Amino acid sequence: SQKIEQNSEALNIQEGKTATLTCNYTNYSPAYLQWYRQDPGRGPVFLLLIRENEKEKRKERLKVTFDTTLKQSLFHITASQPADSATYLCALDPSGTYKYIFGTGTRLKVLA
Amino acid sequence: GAGVSQSPRYKVAKRGQDVALRCDPISGHVSLFWYQQALGQGPEFLTYFQNEAQLDKSGLPSDRFFAERPEGSVSTLKIQRTQQEDSAVYLCASSPGAGAADEQFFGPGTRLTVL
């Protein structure tokens, strides 16, 4: 069956360290993969999009990698801050259209 | 400019009641999506509009769910004869274009509780 897996357990890291979140998928060949941030009681907020022919994408302290052979995306936050604490969702588009499938999200907590 | 807004933010319904959830997308956005998000889960796709046309309703769980966007802007998700399993957060998102590379702008959601 098709599925997207993200770390189901919360990730706690110390302020200043790099947080690495994982998104694994099976039985998809997505053309695009997106990462979103979601705070409690709010809708997701778009962070980054990476295309299948891109290995890496950066935006300020954020970095996303996309390995279509391993069927995996990694999301890194460098120099993490307590304000980075949130749930991070990966989403992929299985058919190159508008329809994204979301993972369950990983809750990140950055400790001061 | 204003982002995506949804109303009401919270809705409590008795089992069997009908509810209507409203979404005001960002002005000029072509695409509009509805998602259902259960506690601890990611958003699950319900339906997609491109302007006023409902191009995909494959995610609607049953024929009790109905969505419309008659003038290509505001959208309403209606749930008839609500059941307890309908309790969830309903998210609306819009995007400026119709392609897979467009980011989606989400509203704050409507939390529906069916008693």
Beta strands in chain B (DSSP E): 5-7, 10-13, 19-24, 31-37, 44-50, 53-56, 65-68, 75-79, 88-95, 105-106, 110-114
* Average confidence (pLDDT) over A46-67: 94
Give pLDDT tens digits along chain B (115 positions).
589 999 999 999 999 999 999 999 999 999 999 999 999 999 999 999 999 999 999 999 999 999 999 999 999 999 999 999 999 999 999 999 988 888 999 999 999 999 9
Q: At A41, list the tokens.
A: 């009681």
A7 lies within 8 A of chain B by CB: no
* Percent of all residues in chain A with a pLDDT value above 90, rounded to a whole number: 79
Substitution target in A98, A100, A104, A107 with the highest count of B β-carbons within 10 Å is A98
Using a CB-CB cut-off of 8 Å, the residues of chain B touching A41 are 108-109
In chain B, which residue's Cα lies nearest the Cα of A92? B100
Q: What is the pLDDT of residues A87-111, one digit of tens each?
A: 999 999 887 778 899 999 999 999 9
B43/A contact by beta carbon, under 8 A: yes
A28: amino acid identity, one letter: Y
User: CB pairs under 8 A, 24+ apart, for A60-66?
Assistant: A62/A35, A64/A33, A64/A35, A66/A33
Mean pLDDT of A50-59: 93
Mean pLDDT, range A78-84, rounded to an integer: 97
User: Which pLDDT band, with edges at 50, 70 and 90, does A1 fall under?
Assistant: low
User: For residue A51, what pLDDT is reported?
Assistant: 92
pLDDT at B80: 98
Q: Residue A106 has what pLDDT?
A: 96
B95 chain-A contacts, CB cut-off 8 A: 98
